[in-house]
Structure 1
């Protein structure tokens, strides 16, 4: 096996495939599919989305200074794709995709009812980069669907059947391979087992 060197490019996959909702009234509500998004700070909780200046949502968010990141599921994949290839300048994406806009708790932009997680964001800065500009925002509220919360108050995102985007395709998450810290836990459990064996 050998490595082949390509020209510089974005090859960090898979990525979340989210629907960002924006607009401060029903007439201006819009949806845009974003894959270039992520966490940039824990305290305060901050995230980013990157958008081309030519996109209709770019100016909407710049004007209203807020937006909502809505996580998506396998049931929403057709709408996710549609909102990524069509402009909302002359069409109503909520009506066409049959997604439901609902009032957010902290921002003017709507949340998507069908999304299991809605992350309400206040715009803090726009970083001009090149083909895309980075919208840096603070998370001011998170709404989760209660049917995925167990009796202990734990939210099970995996049960929502979330999707991601990888090199031109949409995928579900597949099998769980481990949990955070499991590589250390295994070693600790092994040491405990060895100690017990020696004592016996």
Structure 2
């Protein structure tokens, strides 16, 4: 059945579920996000929105960098853990048993076993109504054999279940 639905229409867009990782002055954080999107390719630019109240927002504004780690279909448990706790109270890297790897250009850690890892430098933040964070991808790594975990119709799905 086809019907008008202003709000829920948005949830028919598919998005990769990602972990946003940050580091500033030895403080690390990771959060789950389904609101990132590429907005340019020369240079490669990505946008995401994160509430000002989040530790990740605070660390991005201080460090001027972040990493986007695109989760694979086998990483739904990690998405749930990193999206259910505040980094102010819980070390989500330990709680989710995350394995990290060293980035090439930035200081924010990269997460192992992902479809892709994108190292990003902050370009600007647009305040509307949640901040839109815009970053340039300065380095990236891709595992072409893995498939992404997807957010569709307000739930996590795999490419086989859409």
Q: Same fold (TM over 0.5)?
A: yes
Q: Which has the higher contact order (CA 8 A, sep 6+)?
A: 2
Q: Distance in 2 between matches of 1:124 and 1:5?
A: 34
- Determine which of 141, 144, 160 is the counterpart of 1:143: 141
CA contact (8 A) 1:45 1:139 kept: yes
What TM-score, normalized by structure 2, do the two folds share? 0.90
* Deviation string, structure 1 residues 149-191 (Cα, Å, up to 9, x no partner): xxxxxxx3xx313210112311111289xxxxxxxxxxxxxxx
CA contact (8 A) 2:11 2:152 kept: no
Q: Which runs of 5+ in 2 are unaligned?
A: none
CA gap of 1:44–1:161, structure 2 versus 1, over 3 A, is closer
CA gap of 1:42–1:90, structure 2 versus 1, over 3 A, is same
- Determine which of 151, 156, 159 is the counterpart of 1:170: 156
TM-aligned CA deviation for residue 29 of structure 1: 1.3
Q: Distance in 1 between matches of 2:47 and 2:154?
A: 21
CA contact (8 A) 1:17 1:35 kept: yes
The aligned residue for residue 4 of structure 1 is 4
The aligned residue for residue 128 of structure 2 is 129
Q: Which runs of 5+ in 1 are unaligned?
A: 146-155, 177-200
TM-aligned CA deviation for residue 47 of structure 1: 0.6
Aligned length: 162
Q: Distance in 2 between matches of 1:163 and 1:175?
A: 11
The aligned residue for residue 161 of structure 1 is 147
TM-aligned CA deviation for residue 117 of structure 1: 1.2
Which shifted more, 162-171 or 65-74?
162-171
Q: Distance in 2 between matches of 1:57 and 1:99?
A: 17
Q: Distance in 2 between matches of 1:174 and 1:46?
A: 28
The aligned residue for residue 66 of structure 1 is 65
CA contact (8 A) 2:24 2:63 kept: yes
Q: Distance in 1 between matches of 2:62 and 2:2?
A: 49
Greater share of helix: 1
What secondary structure is seen at the aligned counterpart in 2 of 1:47? strand
CA contact (8 A) 2:99 2:111 kept: yes
